[in-house]
Amino acid sequence: MTTKYNNETFICPCCGKEFETKIVTMITHEGQDSDFLPHFVGENPLPFYLAQCIYCNFIGYPEDYAPENSQKTEITPSQIKKILNLPLSKKIPEIPLRFFIAGKIYEELKRNPYFTANLYLRGAWCCRIIDNRKAEIELQQLAIRFFKIALEKSTISSPDTVSVVTYLIGELYRRLEDRKSAREWFEATVETIIDPEQQWLLELTQKQAELNEYLIN
């Protein structure tokens, strides 16, 4: 078992040009971090979850290029340029930057904030893999912000996912050394869990809540 890639052709919904790029089709991992970063076997495949247009820098998941989604993907090359010129875009290293730009595009497109948050979380994972704590903090804060918006606006349909997101906010706060907020969100997580199938999440929450109280980060 190994990571597999495929070269695929896409038509950019932003500039209309055609390009070919490498996309990951299968990954192997053994275990994960407490914020669900998978421990990949071999190189980090995360950057290849996204396809980036070589002409205008539009970036998104392969499904964002599907013709049936193109109406939801209306963005102009000048909007992309603006994103690339944001002060934060200059500070984030190349690989996590892919997720930052994709997240900003999702913000512009007013996509479900839950998906936007997931892009920022993946960006934060990429920063951890290359050991860039400063950029990781920026992306973790963005992930928290959009997970919270998703909860406030009830954009997450599955109650199980609501529990996972509530936990993730707590765990990201713990990683940001905001113990008070972490405590509040871990407590809130416990209250959301009703499904016995989510016993694993209850145990994980209790473990991380204990780390939050007794360990120096």
Binding positions for Zn ion, rule: CB under 5 A: 12, 14-15, 53, 55-56, 58
Query: Among residues 129, 139, 136, 135, which one has the least CA distance to residue 43?
Result: 129
Nearer Cβ to Zn ion, position 65 or 125?
A: 65
Do the Cβ atoms of 201 and 161 come closer than 8 Å?
no
CB of 57 to Zn ion, least distance (A): 7
CA distances from 159 to 66, 146, 154, 184, 194 (A): 29, 17, 10, 19, 9
Nearer Cβ to Zn ion, position 14 or 46?
A: 14
CB of 83 to Zn ion, least distance (A): 13
Do the Cβ atoms of 77 and 14 come closer than 8 Å?
yes
Q: How many CA atoms lie within 13 A of 168 on its CB side?
A: 28
CB of 80 to Zn ion, least distance (A): 8
CB of 205 to Zn ion, least distance (A): 42
